[in-house]
Structure 1
Amino acid sequence: MNHDMPSSPARAKNVLSTRSVFGAPCWVSLTSRDLKATEEFYSAVLDWQWRPARLGDRFRIALADGAPVAGIAAVASMWQMAVAWTPYFAVVGADQAAARVQERGGTAAVGPISLPPGRAALLADRDGATFGIWEGELFTDWDTWRRVQPAFLKLHTRDAFDAAIFYGEVLDWATGKPGACEVDYEGGEVVLRSNHDVVARIESGALGAAPDPTIRPHWQVHFFVEDTDACARSAQLQGGTVLSQAEGEAVLRDADGAQFTVTARRGR
């Protein structure tokens, strides 16, 4: 979850709130067992820098080009949580969004809880894919965060159409309201756009095919990089694993077991 949202009036200058970009991805967070090892891994693979977070010594903020890009929380062992990357979506009201999730067959794992200056919750959709929601202030420099944030998010699920309905109802996609995300169907995928930029995709296999019971639904986080081959080599040197590799993209697992994808900037 977002470990370092702005709180003072000085930092709040030019801040956008989740009301401005509701339904769109606004943060990614990683649970970890070993904070120092996680820092070393992502410093080597993604060239990230680090700074402390106000929530305590178990939390760090990852910086790319000097801008906050992700939160790391060394709580997996303490809270008996899986080691995984989790996307957070902007919502106008965390309590209302969490209630919608439960009404539609999803579950609330954590929260909503207050994390001034906002509220957050960790949820799962009705197929078990984990995601978070955030209500409150966003970063002061939204355009910079969009530039260095994940290239996009991809939901691998059993039924893309059904998943799009679930998330659309929870996150107010395609409502026509000012700032709402747009949803299209392209090549068998559901494509989510915020301000015309692709920010997420939902896929479930061939168009018209029956839901695949072997798929473990999950959100995959894609990070923009300059050289995917170099990232893959660095991941292996740091004790990680290359799960698959193609031109302009590599699916990696860090040394702690969290899976993510690196995507060439031109490959969006």
Structure 2
Amino acid sequence: MAADLDRAHHFYGELFGWGFRPTRQGHGRYTIAYTEGGVPTVGIGASSPSAGVSLPVTWTTYFAADSADEVASRVQERGGTVAVGPLEFGSGRVAWAADPDGANFGIWEGDLTSAWWGERRPGAPVWLELRTRDAFEAALFYGQVFGWDTQGRERCDVRFEHDRVVLHIDGKAVAGLRGGAIEAAPDPNVRPRWRVYFCVKDVDEVAERATELGGGVLALPADTPYGRIAALRDPEGGIFSVAAVRKGPADGDPAD
């Protein structure tokens, strides 16, 4: 969600090589970003006063749901909060919520396509990570809210790996939950929050380019057991991370 959609297009288009196409979603301007080859990768929208919804400039992780209303009810039953919705949003229904520690996320009921999370490729999301107070408590919350434990381990598997709880879907590691966050920390990097990682070929080059485009570097490029990563921000303050594209069994598990 961006305050200035055109500014967001310029920054991310130059940084990741995305192309953009407008689409009918919600009440304001909304576009789908495409990586090379015309593969849809993310949505970028601008808050509209007519929508009655004011959201911060941020990347939001959305979880699919068969029923946004049922999931929203489970969020509240388990100590989370529902800030907006569920409401009609383009071709589906959406709600914005927060877990008991205050990490924001979205709930999406509607059409899905595997192209949104397909082959690892530059410019596409490669990993989602939650920094939270207690990873095991968070795993219980999200597991109960989204039924991770009812879909069978072949479909959805949650396990502890490399100092974090890792969610595998259809055999692919897609998200990690790490402890140690502090709710009252002044630094947003330390507070509970979901972070998205995007694939890039050269982390150092992308970090430098982000600064040239008016963004900034929150954590300098560094080598980790999973590859080279960096934490960045866009010109409006939206936080995201980048990870070098890599192949092999550990693909998709960057460290935060």
* Counterpart mapping for 1:93-242 below 5 A: 93-139=67-113, 142-143=114-115, 145-147=117-119, 148=121, 149-177=124-152, 180-205=155-180, 212=182, 214=185, 215-242=190-217
Secondary structure, aligned partner of 1:85: coil
Are 1:257 and 2:237 an aligned pair?
yes
Are 1:48 and 2:34 an aligned pair?
no
Deviation at 1:179, TM superposition (A): 7.1
* Distance verdict in 2 for CA 1:116–1:49, change over 3 Å: closer
* Distance verdict in 2 for CA 1:77–1:200, change over 3 Å: farther
Query: 1:23 aligns to what?
Result: none
* Distance (whole Å) between structure 2 residues aligned to residue 50 and residue 58 of structure 1: 12
* Distance verdict in 2 for CA 1:178–1:198, change over 3 Å: closer
Are 1:67 and 2:39 an aligned pair?
yes
* Distance verdict in 2 for CA 1:77–1:188, change over 3 Å: farther
Q: TM-score, with normalisation over the residues of structure 1?
A: 0.80
| Residue identity matched to 2:20 | W
Percent of aligned pairs with the same residue?
44
* Distance (whole Å) between structure 1 residues aligned to residue 90 and residue 157 of structure 2: 29
Secondary structure, aligned partner of 2:118: helix
| Residue identity matched to 2:230 | A
Which structure 1 segments of 5+ residues have no match?
1-30, 206-210
Asked whether the equivalents of residues 51 and 62 of structure 1 are also in contact (C-alpha less than 8 Å), the reply is yes
How many matched pairs? 231
- After superposition, what is the alpha-carbon deviation per residue over 1:13-39, rounded to whole angstroms, capped at 9, x for unaligned? xxxxxxxxxxxxxxxxxx111111100
Asked whether the equivalents of residues 33 and 77 of structure 1 are also in contact (C-alpha less than 8 Å), the reply is no
Which structure 2 segments of 5+ residues have no match?
none
Deviation at 1:180, TM superposition (A): 4.1
| Residue identity matched to 2:191 | R
Structure scoring higher RCO (CA < 8 A, sep ≥ 6) equals 1
* Distance (whole Å) between structure 2 residues aligned to residue 218 and residue 138 of structure 1: 24
* Distance verdict in 2 for CA 1:212–1:83, change over 3 Å: closer
Deviation at 1:119, TM superposition (A): 1.5
* Distance verdict in 2 for CA 1:50–1:265, change over 3 Å: same
Deviation at 1:100, TM superposition (A): 0.2
* Distance verdict in 2 for CA 1:54–1:199, change over 3 Å: same
Q: TM-score, with normalisation over the residues of structure 2?
A: 0.84
* Distance verdict in 2 for CA 1:113–1:178, change over 3 Å: farther
Comparing 70-79 with 216-225, greater Cα deviation is found at 70-79
Deviation at 1:53, TM superposition (A): 1.2
Deviation at 1:92, TM superposition (A): 1.6
Are 1:89 and 2:63 an aligned pair?
yes
Deviation at 1:116, TM superposition (A): 4.8
Deviation at 1:41, TM superposition (A): 0.3
